[in-house]
Amino acid sequence: MSQSAQKLRIALDAMGGDFAPANEVQGAVECLRQCNNRFHVVLVGDEPRIQAELQKLDAKGLELSIVHAPDVIDMHDSPVTSIKTKPNSSLVKGITMHKEGAVDAFVSPGNTGAVTAASTLILGRIPGVSRPTVAAIFPSEQGPTLIVDAGAVSDCRPQFLYEFGVMGSIYSEYMFKKKNPRVGLLNIGEEETKGNELAKETFKYISERKGTMNFTGNVEGRDILKGHVDVVVCDGFVGNVLLKFAESIPGYLKFQFKKFADKSILNKLMIGLLRGSLREIFKDMDYTEHGGIPLLGVNGVTIIGHGGSPPKAIKNMLFRAEEVVEYKINQHIQEKLRGQ
């Protein structure tokens, strides 16, 4: 294992996921092999356990290093308190390293709430941003659609939603190569008089600030998978409910296919024949493809993944972090929002 000062450096929270550190280590190894050591990965976590995982793999010559962080933050710890009480957790240590400039980005398949809170508290916000947002990537008939916010801020003000839209628009433009991304406000009707108080006020608020993004008006739940807009703006409560619902669809379909297959031998044969095709068809609904979702608005680069992330998802999260740094997403956000 070697280190290189010139290369981009990404800290990976090796203890964050449900299968830590095995999946994290394997994902990092696969990532560096695939990109020929294009960047350097710092595995942050329990060193002996990480070493044990590395022993199982062929990690020689890879741009990997380990920073020991033995404390563990679990689901029941308060994120805010943990930052003070567990400075040697992989989460707090990794983000602190990023804050101090030792790494260029931080990636974690840990608890979304904890990663968001720790990133916001330690890294701070980009000037002009009221609340950082967690974006979710939905599939659609017209490519990836971004949902902001997907869970960072439950109770929102119009200004927050407006900023989510601007940040989502920048992410969509650079990461998904969408030109002048269409931004829609999630609502329960197309007319501007529709919706709850927040939606009505937000429609007005954004309409008065149209210059900063391509706001196309209200969209409904049915417009998301159609890809009628590139960025869907909503509060974090609605977004999180939607995200978790959407993520449960493949499991439900699998259940239905299994029920059908169990009805007869012919059915079983048909489904068996189609297994590979079904996997391909449902590929877009698979979160491991995108890897992780970005935390936008913090003064640094944080990519959040699923607790259950397989190595492939970890690998893709590292690539996402690299892109966010390379495309200077944060700088673009600051330029658009500062002084608004």
Residue from 224, 296, 298, 329 in contact with a second copy (CB under 8 A): 224
Compute CA distances 28 → 48, 66, 115, 119, 271, whole Å: 17, 12, 19, 21, 35
Residues numbered 176-195 forming contacts with a second copy, rule: CB under 8 A? 186, 188-189, 195
In the complex with a second copy, which residue's Cβ is closer, 1 or 270? 270
Q: Which DSSP helix (H) or strand (E) runs through 315?
A: helix 311-326
246 lines the binding site for a second copy (CB under 8 A): yes
Place of tokens 């807009």: 229
Minimum distance from residue 233 beta carbon to a second copy (Å): 12
Instruction: In angstroms, give the least distance from the CB of 238 to a second copy.
Output: 5
Instruction: Examine residue 279 and tell whether it contacts a second copy (CB under 8 A).
Output: no
Residue 262 interacting with a second copy (CB under 8 A):
no
Closest approach, Cβ 41 to a second copy, in A, equals: 30
Cα(313)–Cα(211) distance, integer angstroms:
36
Does 18 participate in binding a second copy (rule CB under 8 A)?
no
Letter for the amino acid at 35? C
Among 154, 207, 331, 340, binds a second copy (CB under 8 A): 154
Q: β-pairing, 302-305 with 9-13?
A: unpaired
Q: Which two tokens stand for residue 247?
A: 């993520």
Question: Residues near 264 by Cβ (< 8 Å), separated by ≥ 6?
Answer: none
In one letter, which amino acid is 80? V
Do residues 138 and 285 touch, judged by C-beta distance below 8 A? Answer: no
User: Which residue from 273, 335, 338, 340 is in contact with a second copy, where contact means CB under 8 A?
Assistant: 273
Residues that bind a second copy (CB under 8 A): 113, 139-141, 151, 154-155, 186, 188-189, 195-197, 199, 220-226, 234-238, 240-249, 251-253, 255-257, 259-260, 267, 270-271, 273-274, 277, 280-282, 284
